[in-house]
Amino acid sequence: MLSRVANTLYWMVRYVERADNLARLIDVNQQLLLDSERLDSERLRAFWQPIILSTGEEDLFGSLYDEAGSSEVIRFLTDDARNPNSITSCIGLARENARTVRDQLSDDLWESLNALYLFTRSPEASRLIASDPPRYYENIRRSSETFLGIAASTLSRDEAWEFMDLGRHLERADKTTRFLDVSSYLPGGEMGAAAPAGLHWSAILRSCGALGAFRALNRDINAHSVVDFLVFSRDFPRSVRFCIEKADVSLHRISGTPRGTFSNDAERATGRLLAELNFSTADDAFSAGLHEYLDSLQTRFNRIGEAIFESYVLMPERIESCFMDPGQALSALAAWQMQQQQQQQQQ
């Protein structure tokens, strides 16, 4: 498979998954806000600020908005074209990636993504955002799930599929940690007051579509049990451990290397992380500090992504051969990758 095609399919699915997860995050927190008492402007800002911080977009948000209220945060994450990671921007990027590899996709898959793209730019979408946000976010979630379901039922399990599945699971693992990390920015620390904390951890489970699966285990909803389930579960499809397991499987199917060994840095980094998750517990996460632990996971996801890009996509002649140090090399690599995505969007 051409490296350009592999990279395009990988990012197409990552963008759809990112839009789906943003829709879940915003919708659940809007519902959580309805369960709260009336909030003054200071408490309302404290409610939404963690959402921005958990996405890692606080600098861009601060440059575009003076306040961090409901309308500002929702607009920024939903349909602000100035935010390259808003729902609308992600769907646009996914559709543009799909357009350039149209021959690799089934007709049904292209039509489902194109329909989602047209919806996000329609007057109906604008009306729903203003008057019925839950219905808008439900449409995004259902359309994203339909896209992934059609992909699963219409595409051969070849290299193209493995790159798509790899992108989906890396993005999903990252967003699960970011949902959990919202708790780190809440007033009062990670645990918060007893009642609000219980409501908050329930909201995180709902964001991940995990409330039913969690309740089936007959466990109490608290910080420890939720972190244990969403990070270390071997069975739940949005847990970090489950997603990294699937990413490791895809990488080895792409290279043909037996699992338990590695042929490139991506396989080595993924295998090492999976081994650590296999032999860790929620106690380890809280001992290290929940925010610090989740932040370290996000850093490692980024390194895995960079290693995938370097192993399967990067053309060395397009990158300067001399770097001052490895840190500069990673920065140049990330900048080159972003440039390629932006150029593709403008074509």
Helix (H, G, I), strand (E, B), or coil: what is residue 236? coil
pTM equals 0.86
Q: Which residue has the tokens 């969007």?
A: 345
Contact between 273 and 300 under an 8 Å Cβ cutoff? The reply is: yes
Where in the chain are the domains? 1-155, 156-313
Q: Is the dihedral of CA 60, 114, 210, 200 positive or negative?
A: positive
Q: Which two tokens stand for residue 79?
A: 């349909």
DSSP assignment string, 2-68: -HHHHHHHHHHHHHHHHHHHHHHHHHHHHHHHHHSPP--HHHHHHHHHHHHHHHT-HHHHHHH-S--
Measured CA to CA, the distance from residue 335 to residue 337 in angstroms comes to 5
**Burial tier of 253 (Cβ tally within 10 Å: 0-12, 13-18, 19+):** middle
Taking only the tens of pLDDT, the chain with its 347 residues reads 688 899 999 999 999 999 999 999 888 777 666 655 454 455 555 667 778 888 888 899 999 998 877 888 889 999 999 999 999 999 999 999 999 999 999 999 999 999 999 999 999 999 999 999 999 999 999 999 999 999 999 999 999 999 999 999 999 999 999 999 887 766 554 433 334 557 788 889 998 999 999 999 988 999 999 999 999 999 999 999 999 999 999 999 999 999 999 999 999 999 999 999 999 999 999 999 999 999 999 999 999 999 999 999 875 444 443 343 444 444 444 454 555 555 444 44
Question: How many secondary structure helices (H) and strands (E) does the chain include?
Answer: 17, 0
